[in-house]
Structure 1
Amino acid sequence: MEIYENENDQVEAIKRFFAENGKALAVGVILGVGALIGWRYWTSHQTESARSASQSYQSVVTEIGSGNADKLSAAEKFAAENKNTYGALASMELAQQFVDQNQLDKAATQLQQGLAATSDENLKAVITLRLARVQVQLKQADTALKTLDTVKGEGWAAIVADLRGEAQLSKGDKQGARSAWEAGINSKASPALSEMMQMKINNLSI
Structure 2
Amino acid sequence: MDVNITEEQQVEQIKAWWKENGKAVVLGAVIGLGGLWGWRYYQGEIQAAKEQASEAYTQVITSLETNPETSVALVQGFITEHEDSQYSVLAALQLAKSLVEQEKLDAAAEQLNWVITHTQDEAILPIAQTRLARVHAQMTQYDTALAELDKVTAESWQAKVAELRGDILLEKGETLAAREAYVQSQQLGASPALQIKLDDLAQ
Q: Same fold by TM-score, threshold 0.5 exceeded?
A: yes
Contact 2:68 2:98 in 1 (8 A): no
Confirm or deny that 1:120 pairs with 2:121. yes
Matches within 5 A, 1:48-197: 48-67=48-67, 69-82=69-82, 83-189=84-190, 193=191, 195-197=192-194
Q: Structure 2: where are the runs of 5+ without partners? A: none
Q: Distance in 2 between matches of 1:70 and 1:17?
A: 73
Contact 1:181 1:197 in 2 (8 A): yes
In the TM superposition, residue 91 of structure 1 has moved relative to its aligned partner by 0.8
Change (3 A) 1:140 1:7: farther
**Letter matched to residue 15 of structure 1:** K
Q: Residues 83-115 of structure 1, C-alpha deviation per residue, up to 9 Å, x if partnerless?
A: 322111111111111111111010011112222
**Letter matched to residue 137 of structure 1:** Q
Change (3 A) 1:69 1:33: same
Confirm or deny that 1:199 pairs with 2:196. yes
| Aligned counterpart, 1:46 | 46
Matched residue count:
201
In the TM superposition, residue 30 of structure 1 has moved relative to its aligned partner by 1.8
Contact 1:87 1:117 in 2 (8 A): no
In the TM superposition, residue 68 of structure 1 has moved relative to its aligned partner by 5.6
The RMSD of aligned alpha carbons is: 1.9
**What TM-score does the superposition give when structure 2 sets the normalisation length?**
0.89
SS of 1:121 mapped into structure 2: coil
Contact 1:84 1:118 in 2 (8 A): no
| Aligned counterpart, 1:7 | 7
Contact 1:84 1:117 in 2 (8 A): no
In the TM superposition, residue 78 of structure 1 has moved relative to its aligned partner by 0.7
Q: Distance in 2 between matches of 1:68 and 1:101?
A: 8
**What TM-score does the superposition give when structure 1 sets the normalisation length?**
0.88
Q: Distance in 1 between matches of 2:134 and 2:198?
A: 19
- Where has structure 1 moved over 6 Å in runs of 4 or more? none
Q: Distance in 2 between matches of 1:15 and 1:145?
A: 80
In the TM superposition, residue 20 of structure 1 has moved relative to its aligned partner by 2.1
Change (3 A) 1:84 1:149: farther
Contact 1:168 1:176 in 2 (8 A): yes
